[in-house]
């Protein structure tokens, strides 16, 4: 069964702190892995996409890594800001579909 797990479920940090969100998946036969951001009552915004042959991707203060063999990905956020407060979703693509984790709710306090 293809399952995606995210840890922690919620995280509250002071502004300026560096933080790491974790994602693990049970089936390593992935096409790619994506990290999304979802604001309350809103849609999804794609942050980073890592193809199965890649090990990491970077965009601004965000860095995502992928270790297919161990079934893990991390999203690193540097110098967090209150505007980073949102739910972060990890999604693994298997063929025709994305399998999502339950998300990490991040709150950055000013």
Q: Where are the beta strands (DSSP E) in 15-85?
A: 19-25, 32-38, 44-51, 56-59, 62-67, 72-77
The residue count for binding other proteins (CB under 8 A) is: 25
* Of the candidate residues 31, 58, 61, 107, the single one contacting other proteins (CB under 8 A): 31
Please state the closest distance from residue 18 (CB atom) to other proteins, in A. 26
Beta-bridged to residue 49, according to DSSP, are 34
Interactions with other proteins, residue window 51-90 (CB under 8 A): 51-52, 89
Q: Within 13 A of 5's CA, how many CA atoms are on the CB side?
A: 9
Interface ranges with other proteins (CB under 8 A): 31-32, 34, 36, 41-46, 49, 51-52, 89, 91, 93, 95-103
């Amino acid at each position: 069964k293809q399952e995606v797990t995210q840890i922690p479920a919620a995280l509250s940090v002071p502004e300026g702190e560096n933080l790491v969100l974790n994602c693990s998946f049970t089936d390593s036969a992935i096409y790619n892995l994506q990290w999304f951001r979802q604001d309350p009552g809103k849609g999804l915004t794609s942050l980073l996409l890592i193809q199965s042959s890649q090990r990491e991707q970077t965009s601004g203060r965000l860095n995502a890594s992928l270790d297919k063999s161990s079934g893990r990905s991390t999203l690193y956020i540097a110098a967090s800001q209150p505007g980073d407060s949102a739910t972060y979703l990890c999604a693994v693509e298997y063929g025709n579909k994305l399998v999502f984790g339950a998300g990490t709710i991040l709150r950055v306090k000013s």
